[in-house]
Amino acid sequence: MGPQVLFATDDWFAAADNLLKAVHRPPPGLSLGSGPWAWNFRLLRAADQSEADSCSEQQCHRRGGGCCQYETCLRPRIVAESQATGFVQREAPQWKAEDFTNFGKWMDGWETRRKRIPGHDWCVIKLGVPGVIHGFDVDTSYFTGNYTPRLSIAAACLNADEVPDLPSRGEKMGTAASEEDFEAIRKLMPEFWTELVPMTILQPGYVDTCHNYLPAQQLRQWTHIRLNMYPDGGIARLRAYGIGHKDWSAVSQKQAIDLVAMTNGGVCLGYSDAHFGHPKNIIGIGRSSVMSDGWETARRLDRPPVLKADDQGVLQVPGYEWAVFKLGHPGIITHIEIDTSHFKGNFPDSCEIEGCAITPEEEKERIAMMWKECLGLKWKLLLPVTKLKPHQQHFYSIEMKDIVTHVRLKIKPDGGISRMRLLGYPGTLPAVNL
């Protein structure tokens, strides 16, 4: 189940669900190791590819991976000119100058009516992935004379039995919450909610001001968020950035699990190149449906003018591209999947995977140094240099006895991969490594 708007006070011009159409657009000016925003993934994405295509997530509509250190979304319910569902969609906001509906100007986002009664508009969203939120991007693109002037955001960590049985939202444009809706949502008591972003002034939806980046004031696990508009107006997209959370106490050490999956807390901590696609994508949910949902590098300029291969057909090139991932839990990896789906003329010639076990302090040092080779990390070979094929899933079984906390994927000479899965068993590091 992906992110969804559970309640919105008004969906007149555009439904709150549109907020979840978010695409990943990290805050400007951040580079590797410059803080948690640099590595966040969106928690508002949907659970799998089919949902991503049918729903307008976690703010992308797929619960995509976490690269860097620390991302997700729920479903709002107040929309007038634009439905609340729109602001959580995967696509970037669009502007259609000539489009009008029976309720007013069509807007790609969530837009409520001009309020003529006491109160303010708000919506409740269920995150696509429970996790620790580090910050938000409130995108007001194209909402220039109709953007909401202020907002606040609260969050809650709710068990399934604490979430009320809410009526299905369906097609919400041109509607407002009914008394039945309000009665149901009141069961989410005020004491459930913790303020993450206090009332904050937003900027209008012009190109140079539309992204409002807001840090979360409490770093804890959440399952739902409540977005408050003051008093009304429009927002194009909502993106929540953080790290997915897995209850590892409920996972047996005899149970095989994808240790690097974003939903299990895996994150990408560094990479050499992400020209066409970020490596965080390859630990996302389900299989990718498009090339852009993978990791793709630029073409390396140090390739020989004439390429040569060894006896196994592996190209002999001097350089490679790499990405480092932190596992959601230390563990022993037994099976590897490398998926080059959609990469037909731009797949890597070969790949190699290494692992290591390091402490959180050592991790911080490596991030600060951008994982330079000179730091002398003792990488252990998990998958030797292996020839890859285009548009295909590759499966490997490995014999490994050592517990690792981090892995490094190398691709030669360059190219793209859509997914990486590292199946194995969670384990506990010896005290000397803690």
412 CB-side CA count, 13 A: 20
DSSP-derived letter for residue 93 is: P
Model confidence at 381, pLDDT cuts 50, 70, 90, reads very high
CA–CA separation, 398 vs 25, rounded Å? 36
CA–CA separation, 389 vs 319, rounded Å? 19
62 CB-side CA count, 13 A: 25
- In DSSP terms, 150 is beta-bridged to 201, 230
Q: Which helix (H) or strand (E) holds 181?
A: helix 179-185
CA distances to 14, 178, 220, 227, 379 from 118, rounded to whole Å, are 21, 16, 33, 18, 62
CA–CA separation, 190 vs 186, rounded Å? 9
Residue keyed to tokens 């390739």? 303
**Exposure b/e, 306-327, CB count within 10 A at least 16 = b:** eeeeeeeeebebeebbbbbbbb
The arithmetic mean of pLDDT across residues 259-283, rounded, is 95
pLDDT for the residue numbered 26? 47
Cβ neighbours of residue 58 closer than 8 Å, sequence gap 6 or more: 2, 3, 20, 42, 43, 44, 45, 46, 64, 71, 72, 73, 127, 128, 129, 240
Instruction: Check whether the bond before 27 is cis (ω within 30° of 0).
Output: no
Could you tell me whether strands 66-67 and 267-271 are parallel, antiparallel, or unpaired per DSSP bridges? Answer: parallel
Model confidence at 174, pLDDT cuts 50, 70, 90, reads confident
Residue keyed to tokens 């079984």? 397
Sign of the four-CA dihedral 298, 303, 309, 310: negative
Token pair, residue 106, equals 């069509």
109 C-beta neighbours (distance < 10 Å), count: 35
171 C-beta neighbours (distance < 10 Å), count: 11
**CA nearest 415: which of 260, 285, 303, 287?**
303
Model confidence at 14, pLDDT cuts 50, 70, 90, reads confident
For residues 307 and 187, the model is more confident at: 307
Tens digits of residue pLDDT in 235-259: 999 999 988 888 898 898 888 999 9
The arithmetic mean of pLDDT across residues 334-349, rounded, is 98
Tell me which of 47-56, 189-198, 418-427 is least confident: 47-56
Chain mean pLDDT for the chain: 83
Tens digits of residue pLDDT in 208-232: 999 999 999 999 999 999 999 999 9
104 C-beta neighbours (distance < 10 Å), count: 18
Instruction: Check whether the bond before 413 is cis (ω within 30° of 0).
Output: yes
pLDDT for the residue numbered 354? 97
List, as one string, the DSSP characters of 284-302. Answer: SSS--SSGGGSEEPPPPTT
Q: Where are the alpha helices (DSSP H) in 278-414?
A: 360-368
Residues in the chain: 434
406 contacts 355 by C-beta, under 8 angstroms? yes
